[in-house]
Amino acid sequence: MDKIYFEEDKSGRHKVIEKPNGIKVRLLQEPSKWYKDKQAKRAAEDKIKQDAKKIVDDRERLIKDKMRELAIKELEQEGRL
Task: Read off the pLDDT of each residue in 61-76 and give the average, rounded to a whole number.
Answer: 96
Burial class (CB in 10 A: 0-12, 13-18, 19+), 19: exposed
pLDDT of 80: 83
**Tell me: the pLDDT tens digits for 10-37?**
999 999 999 999 999 999 999 999 999 9
pTM (predicted TM-score):
0.65
Q: Across the chain, what does the average pLDDT equal?
A: 96
pLDDT of 34: 97
In the predicted model, is pLDDT for residue 79 greater than 90? no
